[in-house]
Chain A
Amino acid sequence: MTPTATTPPAGGSATHRPGHRRPLRPRLGSPLPRRVSGPAAGRAGARRAAPRPEPSFAARGVAFALALPDHPLLDRLVRARAWIPMLGVLLAGIVAMQVEVLKLGASIGRSVQATTELQSRNELLRASVASLSNEQRIESVAATMGMVMPAPDGVSFLTAQRYGNAARAAANIQPPSPSTFTASPVAGSESAASNATASSAAGAAGGASSSTGG
């Protein structure tokens, strides 16, 4: 309960009590103004106390923060027992999070190792592809299958015409048949083999030319 402002006793008091206004010290050299009786409302408007401005948001926030220690809600929260399991859950969460971080780290480690191994395998496979596609190796394998390189004059070139050649070339493009390569070379296959080689050689030429076996 806030005490109301009252006029101090004439003699004043030397001790300051909380909630009480400190008595005004009389100005030196000037007598105290004489008290004039009459209704307060009859005084001039300038003497009336101006309405207080609304405090700003920050000021209100500061005021709230200062009043927080005395807030009854906090009091109730501190005295309550619900925070014990809550803290337990939070601590368990932190531990679980740490464990997850460690598991994630281990997983990253395994991934890095797996990446390195895959890269190594990839490099090995690249090297294998390069060595297996060696033309000299393929030539020797082809030779065992009865294939021969055509003589230079065994390959003839056609000038691509507007109509006809392109369609013929497109029609001749077929996926390779595995049976072609697994079949053992027999007599008379040499010409077919040379035809095939000629076609493949000319196929490498690409462009506007097509070829026929010689």
Chain B
Amino acid sequence: MRVLDRRIGLLLIVFVALLGVGLVRAAYLESIKSGRLQRAAAVQQVSHVTVPAARGAITDRDGVQLALSESADDVIADPYLIKNPVKVAKQLAPLLGQPLLTVLGGLTRAHTGYVRLAHLLPADRATEIQKLDIDGINLSPDTTRVYPRGSQAAQVLGYVGFNGQGLDGLEYGFNSALRGTNGSRTVVNDAIGQAISVDNVRAARAGKPLALTIDSALQAEMEQVLADVGTQYSPLGATAIAVDPSTGAILGLANWPPVNPNSPFASRASAWENQAVGFSYEPGSTFKAITVAGALQDGQITPTKEFDIPASPPGLQVKDRWIHDAEPHAYEMLTVEQILQRSSNIGADEIGAQLGAKRFDYWVHRFGFGSPTGVDLPGEQRGIVLHWWQYSGSSMGNLPFGQGESVTPMQMVAAYDAIANGGILRAPHIVQSVGGKPVALPAGRRILSPSVALELREMLRGVFADGGTASGAAIPGYDLAGKTGTANIAIDGHYSASEFVASFIGMVPTVDPKLVVAVVVDQPQGSIYGGSVAAPAFQKIVGWAVPYLGISPCPAPCAASVLNGQTP
């Protein structure tokens, strides 16, 4: 019995001794090595991960994705932990899409534990790298902006910089809505790197999606037409705008030359300009409709009122300037309708003279020229429009036919929208909803009576008739109205004889327009006239759009004339 007690006592002493050793060791780890071990655990086991917020998608009016965010990863290497750099480089090089030596150079860089091998690598390839499970290769999650339609509506959409900030277009203008808020997550990993605890410190908040009024099919067609114009006339630039006049919704907005938002810095900076709002030009004859509208609304003229048009050359003398028409002609009498149809500069001047400088200036500003339209696109120019007290003696010799004032294509479209919709000037808009919440329709203001707007549209119909400046742009069966414009470009205080801006703005159908389309071509080569350069582009766009949008060739008021075999 005593022997047994002694053995048990011995065992107890051994256990107590072992326990003592354990306690001493625990005390050593807890006190002396505590800080170092905590730091090591924090580095090896606990990771604070930034959860990137997805930037809001941009879609067209039917939900087609024009811009969206995709997961992407930065690939980070820690050369200290890479055991076999050559083998790792061979594995990574094809996935990173980099030469073997470049990757190897990164993996063997001396005196650093952080080398970024790739920036924003697409998620599919990053996942493959993750599956390789290489010690010392880490992924840092992020997002990248993708434009699946390539160059479609690129100048409208803009692009995003490396830091996720919108730098141009709608990406810039609506950056605060599109950009979300990054989240934060704390992950505790076990010894083999598996997450054993995931704690969302802050949830990521995705950006709001943006739905546009653009129709991607029409947009594609407009870009194709402008590409053809670019190929045929090699202009400096070109833009086309299609708008629903009843709401001011922009259905298509194309620019040429094209740019690729997926590689934004591959194009020159000037190509990124959205010419619809950023290009100021002298509108030329398309502005005659504004002069006529003011005079009609003031009761100074009627569509049938006749004017004496002197022979050109020499044309009409206004102070120290001689105004002549594009085509030489003898003395003639022209009605207001014919002045528009033949685009007579002298006739427009005579109408302007009848209106007077003050009233002309009133109407120019009444139509919104000299101020931004308020379209929800960034970078809109206001143009240059003088007030009547700033006019020189000969100003009224060129202003009425669109020379001497500077406007943007969007301002011209807004003005023609007012003519098309019965006299209400409204800011065009391109954003339909933000975060699913519809954007309120911009308030309009009446500038013309419906009857004057209709009279003007009917006069503009003549431009497509025989003898009109755009007779070749008519679309069989459709009742079109519009106006050509060919404007000299002012260089060093003088109008160039070789550089022009060719433009055309029209609407369909005349009686109750459903679509307004403008085409502006900057410095076309080979041909310079709005009727030969811009009007055919208008014809192609409208010819494609009318069946697509379900626009009936001839609404009820003109149906009878079509049935009788007459041109509507």
Most chain A CB neighbours (cut-off 10 Å) among B64, B150, B195, B477 = B195
Q: Are A130 and B195 in contact (CB under 8 A)?
A: no
**B106 on interface, CB distance cutoff 8 Å:** no
Q: Are B553 and A153 in contact (CB under 8 A)?
A: yes
List residues 103-155 of chain B with CB under 8 A from any CB of chain A.
122-124, 127, 141, 146, 148-150, 152
Q: Are B68 and A123 in contact (CB under 8 A)?
A: yes
Q: Are A120 and B70 in contact (CB under 8 A)?
A: yes
**B220 on interface, CB distance cutoff 8 Å:** yes
- B258 nearest CB across to chain A (Å): 12
Q: Determine, out of A54-62, A78-86, A105-113, A178-186, the stretch whose residues face the partner at the interface.
A: A105-113
Q: Are B70 and A209 in contact (CB under 8 A)?
A: no
- B226 nearest CB across to chain A (Å): 13
**A129 on interface, CB distance cutoff 8 Å:** yes
Contact with B along A140-183 (1 / 0, CB 8 A): 00000000011111010100000000000000000000000000
**B45 on interface, CB distance cutoff 8 Å:** no
Q: Are B124 and A124 in contact (CB under 8 A)?
A: yes
**A75 on interface, CB distance cutoff 8 Å:** no
The binding surface of chain B is classed by DSSP as: mixed
Closest to B194 in A: A106
B475 partner residues in chain A, CB cutoff 8 A: 152-153
Closest to B49 in A: A112
B23 partner residues in chain A, CB cutoff 8 A: none
Q: Are B152 and A207 in contact (CB under 8 A)?
A: no
List residues 86-129 of chain A with CB under 8 A from any CB of chain B.
102, 105-106, 108-110, 112-113, 116-117, 119-121, 123-124, 126-129
**A201 on interface, CB distance cutoff 8 Å:** yes
B184 partner residues in chain A, CB cutoff 8 A: none
Chain B interface residue count, Cβ-Cβ cutoff 8 angstroms: 47
- A157 nearest CB across to chain B (Å): 5
**B65 on interface, CB distance cutoff 8 Å:** yes
Q: Are A130 and B547 in contact (CB under 8 A)?
A: no
Closest to B551 in A: A205
Q: Are A206 and B546 in contact (CB under 8 A)?
A: no
A152 with B546, Cβ < 8 A, contacts A106-B190, A127-B146 known: yes
Residues of A within 8 A of B (CB): 102, 105-106, 108-110, 112-113, 116-117, 119-121, 123-124, 126-131, 133-136, 149-153, 155, 157, 198, 201-202, 204-207, 209, 211
Residues of B within 8 A of A (CB): 54, 64-66, 68-71, 122-124, 127, 141, 146, 148-150, 152, 185, 187-190, 194-198, 216-217, 220-221, 224, 475-478, 542-544, 546-550, 552-553
The 5 listed contacts between A and B (C-beta, < 8 Å) are A109-B195, A123-B70, A131-B148, A135-B221, A201-B548
